[in-house]
Amino acid sequence: MSKKLIFSLVCLCVLICSCNSKKKAALTEVNKGTQVDYFADNGYGNAVAIVQHPSGVYHKGITYVAYQGPLEDPYVVSYNHNTKEWKGPFKAGVSELGKDPNRKKKIDNHGKPAILIDEEDYIHIAFGGHGGMPKHGKNRLGNYHGGKNQHAISKKPLDISSWETLDNIPPFGTYNQFIKMDNGDLYLFYRHGAHRSDWVYQKSTDNGVTFAEPVSFLKHKRLQHIEAEDSWYPWVSRGNGDDIIVAFDYHICRDNKNAQDKRGHIPERHHLYYMVFNTKTGQWKNVKNELLDMPLTKEMADEKTLVKEIPHDWTFQGIADVDPDGKPQVCVLVGPDIGAKRSGPKRLQHFRWNGQAWLQSKNANLPRGNGDLEVKSATEVSIYLESETNNEVGEIAKWDSFDGGDTFKKNKIFLQRKNAGFVISALIDNPHPDARIIVGEKEDGTDFRKMYLLGDNGPIKRDGKEASVLNDKNNKLN
């Protein structure tokens, strides 16, 4: 080969490399300047859910969001509504879930983080548990399954960039639900183990430095007439004043091998219940203001706290809120026996207390889907709902009622995607109008989700390069 030909080939290679570099740089600049409607692409599995809540909190002009990221570790981002600045995502802890490559079910999904900000502006998350394991010690209030319940706190007030995990809660929890009262007391509610465990709460009066011992409020126990145990799924939230409100359904936890249902243990739930915890007096009451003996048994729940008996259809995920006078409204998903596949047509049913009785609404127009409830007054009610339209478009929308929840109408659509698979959080604590709810959208062919922060003006946008966390070698994933 002649020197002239070699020189020409070298020049051509240099030219191609130069063009590719310029093209890559140009693309980078385009990505950097392009706004996308998601804030991160590293949501993992069911990155948020109604039950683990709150997933977000608005505080001093900033919305803080926690979600499940790669390897089921907790991640936190923040958005400043005044400066329009995003920060994160930062990894806030290391979960014991999501690390076993030989696990049959790849993603556990029970350790998603709940978030809270204390009176001194430190940020807390509880995460990582699915009942704990025998290696963690004796579980005196239930049985085991996996993971380890953990509590992490930011090293500096309102700083999501660095975290410390504290050893001050039992390892056996799952389905964490955080509440802060007006006097600064913190309450952490969770199930103390796997299905066959009590539901408990722990109280902190020193901004989460220490927690009192777990107190049982829903009791698991062995049934005598069939091969099963009583179990529960509550949803806990702030009421008015010193009250904490609880909507819950009953899980009949059948043995893996039993004579009643050859499928063994299945996700069978029934009925809808409601009760109130007065944190000032320490008393639990039903909607009629009658005292309850705690921890509550199935027999006492049926007698004193029943909203609706649902013996044949299955229930899933109760939610509740109260109007300014303290009258509650509750919702629950109801559908036929869904078997072990956890799927099927479930439709939201709505109930309201009129001072004398529970009234079921005529909400046949509500679509199938999961969501959260906001009661603004005795007549004005909203449900934030994920659902799928008739033309296979997934959407997140607000359904409003102006007759106390008797009928609902879709008034605002926050997000729509063709053939989308959405997961949705509970309402953000003390939400800014522009950031009410968190949503994850599944990426086809992967276990990851794009994460959205939605409010009255739709998704809050972010620079495309910042939002593409998985492809950024300088991200905060480690």
**pLDDT exceeds cutoff 60 at 283:** yes
The average pLDDT across 258-266 equals: 78
The average pLDDT across 106-125 equals: 97
pLDDT tier at 17 (50, 70, 90 boundaries)? very low
Mean pLDDT of the chain: 90
Identify which of 459, 458, 455, 475 has the alpha carbon closest to the alpha carbon of residue 467.
475
**pLDDT exceeds cutoff 90 at 261:** no
Query: What pLDDT, on the 0 to 100 scale, is given for residue 20?
Result: 45
- Class at the top of the CATH hierarchy for domain 14-346+423-428+442-471: mainly beta
**pLDDT exceeds cutoff 70 at 265:** yes
Q: What are 267-280's pLDDT values in tens digits?
A: 899 999 999 999 99
Say if CB 13 and CB 5 are below 8 A apart: no
- Report, as residue numbers or ranges, the catalytic residues: 110, 175
